[in-house]
Chain A
Amino acid sequence: MSSTEPRRTALDATHRALGATMTDFAGWDMPLRYGSEREEHVAVRTRAGLFDLSHMGEITVTGPQAAELLNFALVGNIGTVKPGRARYTMICREDGGILDDLIVYRLDDTAYMVVANASNAQVVLDALTRRAAGFDAEVRDDRDAYALLAVQGPESPGILASLTDADLDGLKYYAGLPGTVAGVPALIARTGYTGEDGFELFVKPEHAVELWQALTKAGEGAGLVPCGLSCRDTLRLEAGMPLYGNELSTALTPFDAGLGRVVKFEKEGDFVGRAALTEAAERAASEPPRVLVGLVAEGRRVPRSGYPVVAGGEVIGEVTSGAPSPTLGKPIAMAYVDAAHAAPGTEGVGVDIRGSHEPYEVVALPFYKRQK
């Protein structure tokens, strides 16, 4: 594993044949975009998009005490997740710092699949393995066992329904069920990272190309297009979803990130980070540190991660993610700002864009919410 060669997904040749611009992402060679990233973004908002997300890290946890292990290792109450359902949660250090944000799928009574960010998969695997000591449960590295394809956008239920007998109407948001799609065995999950309705399909890597082609064909009439990581980033930003490495880091607790709701103190037993997170919760309630807010530009210059947020000539925060928003038609950003300037509508807030202070409006997140 000393090679610096990027890892390639099972769909690598497919992406190249489609003329994708590839990019290195967490050690993987991934499609950044196939054509115009704005058109891909709009396709997901209005029709459907097809993503290869095989870089995501799957870890399977099984055994009689799988739930107890996850309750100890993660901040959420995983014991209350019913078979066939999924939960957004986090794994923290003893000091409360966020190691990663995760989706945990409960596959059956004693089996869970933990999906970690590609950049953190090894860290999560190591932490879970270490924290499993003393539990009657097994932690298995399944990163190479799955390819992950996502179909996202309002047309995605119809497209998927044409390829499967699975009960998609009965499949709620944040649920997953095993089924067959285009003849391929798949875990069908109604999850995503775009702010749209959609599905994520976990399949064996050897079935990835066949499934990609079937979805492409089934989506032709509905305007489905292949989509790269560039539009995935602008889609999740508009939806106000945090990205590890931007909004989330080991230097922050879930409370600092405005996501204290994922920490379930009421669950049974101890869990890693409980003491530190209890303090963090009190601090956030009494004297909140910086607050994660949305910023919308009045001008056209785009804020980028790391740019200072300013008010009255003082630095009052920092941009964590920024991009031109295809849906709003103007630049947007997420930023941590001092609590005094965090209320929506706060006057006089700007972003220092390479030396010039551009006016920005403070807004509540998300920037975009789909009509249900």
Chain B
Amino acid sequence: MSNPQQLRYSKEHEWLSGAEDGVSTVGITEHAANALGDVVFVQLPEVGDAVTAGETCGELESTKSVSDLYSPVSGEIAEVNEDVVNDPSLVNSAPFEGGWLFKVRITDEPADLLSADEYTAFTAG
């Protein structure tokens, strides 16, 4: 699997797009989606919610388990992906595209986000 070069990554396996007008898109990586198995339920934050880098802001249920969803940055939720709420399998089939989870207006981001190559090395270890 390949992690898109233009994205940055958290060690909790979220990806973060480059900001457009101060807003970035967040999803979970293909590595994380594969580890979860079929995602059947996604609980996302609500538009306007404040999220904090490294803290939980939702959950992902798969056949075998439930996992917390972490925000890779701090900010305010600008939009959530209703398509993925209605069809959680998008997280598995298109984790970097149609399976995106939310958009966040960034107020602060941690210094330790990873590049694609760093994240690939992180998950290989």
Q: State A324–B116 Cα separation when bound (angstroms).
A: 33
**B41: A residues at CB distance < 8 A:** 300-302, 324
Identify which of B10-18, B59-67, B104-112 touches chain A.
B59-67
Q: Does B114 contact A (CB under 8 A)?
A: no
A36 touches B38 (CB 8 A): yes
A324 touches B40 (CB 8 A): yes
**A33: B residues at CB distance < 8 A:** 37
Q: State A33–B64 Cα separation when bound (angstroms).
A: 11
Instruction: Given A301-B61, A324-B61, decide whether A37 and B66 contact each other with a Cβ distance below 8 A.
Output: no
**B65: A residues at CB distance < 8 A:** 304
Using a CB-CB cutoff of 8 Å, which residues 73-132 of chain A contact chain B? none
Q: Does A241 contact B (CB under 8 A)?
A: no
Interface residues on B, range: 10 to 19
Please give me the residue from chain B that is nearest to A299 by CB atom: B41
A37 touches B40 (CB 8 A): no
| Neighbour of A234 across the interface among B34, B61, B63, B66, CB < 8 A | B63
B63 touches A38 (CB 8 A): yes
A38 touches B66 (CB 8 A): no
Q: State A38–B61 Cα separation when bound (angstroms).
A: 13
Using a CB-CB cutoff of 8 Å, which residues 351-369 of chain A contact chain B? 354
| Neighbour of B63 across the interface among A300, A301, A323, A354, CB < 8 A | A323
Q: State A171–B43 Cα separation when bound (angstroms).
A: 48
Q: State A221–B40 Cα separation when bound (angstroms).
A: 29
Please give me the residue from chain B that is nearest to A330 by CB atom: B40
Q: Does B92 contact A (CB under 8 A)?
A: yes
Using a CB-CB cutoff of 8 Å, which residues 319-372 of chain A contact chain B? 323-324, 331, 354
**A230: B residues at CB distance < 8 A:** 37, 63-64
Please give me the residue from chain A that is nearest to B63 by CB atom: A37
Using a CB-CB cutoff of 8 Å, which residues 1-52 of chain B contact chain A? 34, 37-38, 40-41, 43
Q: State A354–B58 Cα separation when bound (angstroms).
A: 12
Q: State A356–B66 Cα separation when bound (angstroms).
A: 15
Please give me the residue from chain A that is nearest to B61 by CB atom: A302
Q: State A72–B118 Cα separation when bound (angstroms).
A: 62
Using a CB-CB cutoff of 8 Å, which residues 80-125 of chain B contact chain A? 92
Question: Would you mind naming 25 contact pairs between A and B with Cβ atoms under 8 Å apart?
Answer: A21-B34, A21-B37, A32-B37, A32-B64, A36-B38, A37-B37, A37-B64, A38-B38, A38-B63, A230-B63, A230-B64, A300-B40, A300-B41, A301-B43, A301-B61, A302-B40, A302-B61, A304-B65, A304-B66, A323-B64, A324-B40, A324-B41, A324-B63, A331-B40, A354-B66
Interface residues of B (CB under 8 A from A): 34, 37-38, 40-41, 43, 61, 63-66, 92
User: What are the 9 closest A-B residue pairs judged by CB atoms, nearest first?
Assistant: A324-B40, A300-B41, A38-B38, A302-B61, A37-B63, A36-B38, A37-B37, A37-B38, A323-B63
4 new A-B pairs (CB below 8 Å) besides A32-B64, A36-B92, A230-B64?
A230-B63, A300-B40, A324-B41, A324-B63
